[in-house]
Amino acid sequence: MTTNQAQIDYWNGPTGEKWARHQRETDRNLAEAADAALRLANAMPGERVLDIGCGAGVTSLLLGDAVGPAGHVVGVDVSQPMLALARSRANATNVEFIEADATLYPFKPEFDLIFSRFGVMFFVDPAAAFANIRMGAAKGGRLAFVCWRAVEENEWVSLPYRAAKPLLPEQKPIHPHAPGPFAFADPDRLRSILTNAGFSGIGIEKYDGQMDLGSSPESASFQVTELMGPTARALRGVDDATRAKAQEAVIKALADFQTGTENIRLGIACWLVSARS
């Protein structure tokens, strides 16, 4: 058993299976932030790239296009359901996927770029994880990733949660540094983790954008109450009647964001992080 076993179990259970089934929606949800991170990473032809927490593989495939046939991309994740989908989507010989815990995997110092789209916030010991990940960097290798800022700054989280909260059972407080989507909300902590892991030239910049939740309040509600965020977490295990009432409240709140034929969009608040090995 590894220190990340709880997260490994989580992403190989119903959540990982659900994310794989709804890959199209989640890729769309995160596309704007992913594009910003890919611009920051600036993968070049011929480079070798490591994609941490690659999920269903969309960023690995985009990185494969960027580095071309002379380059190579390795996507790493712990989720078997999402990796199975990633492998089924890959049709290029310069992209491969590995099932592994990035905290423990014996990386070789061969990657020009280490990248992640929201895949590095789930480590029990993030300093140890990043120290091990840095072992995969070639001399002068680059690190580029995107992670979430505070819950309160992310409309896609705060709006549905406020709508559902009166109908939810009381929630136990979650430690702000616990493994999870918002573990790196504190930029000072994030900088300290990367420094202690041996990275230098650290840049942490704000990125504000939008999440595209699709064309209907019903589908948008499903995504923020079943797939992603603290509302989805709070609804796990509740009875069907409570779930239905909470989802109806979220649908009503999201309907205010639908304008004509435009998709529903809510604000996102991220950190774009860069460093050198």
The answer to whether 245 and 167 are in contact (CB under 8 A) is yes
Q: Which amino acid is at 51?
A: D
119 CA to centre of own chain:
4
pLDDT of residue 124: 93
Give me 232's structure tokens. Answer: 């989805």
User: Which class is domain 5-276?
Assistant: alpha beta
pTM of the model: 0.94
pLDDT of residue 1: 45
Sequential pLDDT tens for the chain (277 residues) = 457 898 999 899 998 999 999 999 999 999 999 999 999 999 999 999 999 999 999 999 999 999 999 999 999 999 999 999 999 988 889 999 999 999 999 999 999 999 999 999 999 999 999 999 999 999 999 999 999 999 999 999 999 999 999 998 888 888 888 899 999 999 999 999 999 999 999 999 999 999 999 989 999 999 999 889 889 888 888 899 999 999 999 999 999 888 877 899 999 999 999 999 9
Q: How far is CA 36 from CA 41, 78, 207, 231, 263, in A?
A: 9, 24, 8, 26, 20
